[in-house]
Structures are given as structure tokens and as C-alpha cells.
Amino acid sequence: MPLTGAAARYLRSLAHPLDPVVQVGKDGVTKDLLGAVDRALNDHELIKVKLLADGSVERKIIAAKLASHTASEVAQVIGRIVVLYRPRPKKPTIKVPKGYTPPKPASNAFDEDEEE
């Protein structure tokens, strides 16, 4: 179930003071990048990712790809910044409003055919 409006607003408010911890470079979404995003989500639950992509459609596609491969949710795409959320499996520290259920992990973390 995707984020509810209240949950997304709450997560955006928590993400406001955060700095980006991962940057998507000219190579786009790679295995190494997905590993870095996965580690950051395990450590922080809520992260910002900086994109170098041009065009709002391309940024939204990259955000969706990051979310699907890391079993996280996109809380916000604003400019070249994406806010991703994934609760820790045990003892999540961020309590989101009711109505949200976390996504299930993807069966394949990264498919070679999907590289750009």
C-alpha cells in the first residue's frame, strides 16, 4: 500500500533538514548505487537522494526505479532531490500515521536488462 497523504506529509516534514546521502551520477541506477541506497535506508530509514537527471519525467522514473529495487516508498520528488522511506524490519524509529503498510521486498534486487 503506498504512502497515505498524511504519512507523506509527515515524512516530508522529517526530511526537510536532511542532507542528501546518496547521489545518482551520470551512470544512472547501477548495482553499486542500489547497494548504497539500501545501506542508507537500513541506517536511516528516511533519506534524500540527489539526482543529476534533467527533466521532471526522467527524475520521477529514476525515483520509482530506486523505490522498487529497494522496497521503499517515494515520499517526495522536488527538483533534483528524492526522499525515500523504508522502515527497519525490527524496531522502526519513525512512526508514520495510520493507514500505511510497508512494501514487500522485491524478489530480484536488480535485473541486468534494466540498466540504462
**What's the CATH code of the domain at 32?**
3.30.110.60
Q: Rounded to the nearest 5°, which phi and psi values hold at 48? A: -110, 140
Name the residue range of residue 78's domain.
5-85
The pTM (predicted TM-score) of the whole model is 0.82
Q: What is the mean pLDDT of the chain?
A: 85
pLDDT at 32 over 90: yes
**CA 32 to chain CA centroid, nearest Å:** 15
Strands of the sheet with 20-24, listed across from one edge: 20-24, 46-51, 81-85, 73-78
Q: Render pLDDT for 35-72 as a digit per residue (tens, 0 to 9).
A: 999 999 999 999 999 998 777 788 999 999 999 999 99
Q: Quick check: is 107 in a domain?
A: no
